Amino acid sequence: MMEGLVFRALWAGVPIALALILLVPLRRPAYQAMPLAWLAAALIASVLWRMPMTWIVVATVNGVLTAMTILVIVFGALLLLNTLRKAGALSVISASLLQVTTDRRIQALLIGFGFATLVEGTSGFGTPAALAAPLLVGIGFPPLAAAATALIGHAPAVSFGAVGTPILGGVGAALDVAHVREALPVPFLAWITGDITVWNANFHFLGGALIVPLLVVTSLTVWFGRRGEWKRALEAWPMALAAGTAFAVTQNALARLTGPELPSIGGGLAAMLVVVLFAQRRWLQPKVGWGFPDDASGGGARARSPGEPAGSMSLLWAWLPYVLVIVLLLVTRLVWLPFRELFVAPSITWPGILGTELTWSWDFLYSPGVFPFTVVAAASWGLFRMGLPKIRRSVVVTVRQLAAASLAMGAAVAMAQIMMHSGNNALGVDGMLVSLADASARLVGGAFPMVSPWIGALGSFMSGSNTVSNIIFSGYQYQVAAELGYSRTLVVSLQSAGAAVGNIMTVHNLVAVLAVVGGLGKEGLLLRMNALAFVSYLLAVGALGMLAVWLFGAVF
């Protein structure tokens, strides 16, 4: 039986391995690599899993439709960015950021870590990179540097992204079943918003929130500096530790006091405040500034064509669209406010796709791409008194940028959907993703807590979502923990924490952020750049999980 499981797991890994080989060593763009990976997944599912052709078509259709919802977010972010650029607001914003510090490492901590985690806390779903990366490009970051910084920097906030959706809508939805409720020593909601939330924060505190700012700075200097730039990263580590500590302490405290909705929002704000305050007063500031080799001066910084001349536009007026985005995201997502249901209720639904039980649904008003991104972009046309020619150029440029990402995104999500739904087969065996997870769990045995976050990361790598990974694997992780006699609370929390880390590497996010900054075709290089942060984070979380299980194994 074990041989059959390993056999299935090896074949299940082929589409993922093919995608990685094409993207990284062969350096093929995602629009070439992902259709081949989708084809491999479809053939393997059909031949080895005996997945009916109807289900392969249904999974592919569902994947394309899901990709469309992601592309809508990218469209809204791009439209807002291009509107601000044409209006001249981006020039003012760039100048204001450059006044805080000209050191690229500190700029990365402020925007790529602080601002990105704040946006993740409010909205999630790929929004942080879509907003933070263009700001970095606007002040002179190369597109790849901006993309890598934003993707790595937002990871510690993902478990509590979109005001707690991965915990409440992911873990909560997956484990809200009778046998779990009956086994719990506390009410179900108290367990999700209490112990699960707190242990997620614990794993992120030591596993990522303190480490990620260091990795952001190190990645920047090593990949984009001159040779031997490791020591230039060390110079900025005191500021990185200050930002990480502010984020981690605030996130952890709010997780205990308020539940999963506010930890990342508060943590992001705290990190930004610390970086701005310390930079202005030159506390923990590196003695010598650092810049990219092609900057005007070594530590100086200049924006690279952030937009058209801004004239006499005030700083507050230039930042107003971003302020509106943050406020509207909060207002429409906080569950204790009466507005959320107004945006969730309207939806486009396709029930029982092609006669199966799979249903596709899209709460279009709840999509940040529609509200607030596109709405705020349209409002900005009036706020900045843009003429019709500028508006038209903003829209045309946005559509052109989006078109290049569509094929790669559609194929990537379609491949993931085939693997996720391959449990619908004539053999009666587990699907491809569950087979991969099950084989790894059986191979490691008692060391399962070390592997648990990697399973979570696999789910988000494939689906592009912490929430979806938690829905797929939380029940599985709960059951394995029960069979091994480990704390189910700790193992499920490791699942969720690992799923957050997977957002660093998921192809969905890579394609989306490169589309926004204009770097499509460089997905493989971006994967290589993010690999160190991805592996380091997961190893740290896994080690902490193993230690926690040894120390608190009697906890439910």
Mean per-residue pLDDT of the chain: 88
Say yes or no to pLDDT of 537 above 50.
Answer: yes
Check residue 472 and give its pLDDT. 84
- Supply the pLDDT for residue 125: 66
Q: Is residue 300 part of a domain?
A: yes
Would you say 444 and 489 are in contact if contact means Cβ atoms under 8 Å apart? Answer: no
pLDDT for residue 532 is more than 70: yes
Higher pLDDT, 374 or 556: 374
Statement: residue 436 has pLDDT above 90: no
Strand partners of residue 348 = 362
pLDDT tens, position by position, 88-99: 888 888 888 888
CB count in 10 Å sphere of residue 315: 14
pLDDT digits (tens, 9 = 90+) for 6-39: 889 899 999 999 998 999 889 898 889 999 999 9
> For position 22, what pLDDT does the model report?
93
Q: Which of 486, 468, 473 is nearest to 438 (CA)?
A: 473
Q: How would residue 5 be classed by pLDDT, with cut points 50, 70 and 90?
A: confident
Name the nearest CA neighbour of 290 among 210, 211, 217: 217
What span, in angstroms and rounded, lies between the C-alpha atoms of 103 and 107? 6
Question: What is the band of 303 on the pLDDT scale with cuts at 50, 70, 90?
Answer: very low
* Residue 546 in domain: yes
Residue 361 token pair? 């649904």
Query: What is the DSSP-derived secondary structure letter of residue 295?
Result: S
Q: Is the pLDDT of residue 300 over 50?
A: no
DSSP, collapsed to helix, strand or coil, labels residue 309 as: coil
Residue 439 to residue 277: CA distance in whole angstroms? 49
pLDDT above 90: percentage of residues in the chain: 48
- Residue 10 located in a structural domain: yes
Q: Give the mean model confidence (pLDDT) for residues 403-420.
A: 86
What gap in Å lies between CA 502 and CA 521, rounded to an integer?
21
Which residue range forms the structural domain that includes residue 257?
2-551
CB 51 within 8 A of CB 419: no
Is residue 444, in this structure, part of any structural domain at all?
Answer: yes
Helices 523-551, 14-23: inter-axial angle, 10-degree rounding = 130
- Give the pTM: 0.85
The encoded tokens of residue 3 equal 């041989």
Amino acid 304: pLDDT: 47
Looking at the domain assignment, is residue 556 inside a domain? no
The 10 Å Cβ neighbour count of residue 173 is 15
Q: What domain count does the chain have?
A: 1
Is residue 92 in some structural domain? Answer: yes
DSSP state of 24: T
d(CA 176, CA 228): 52
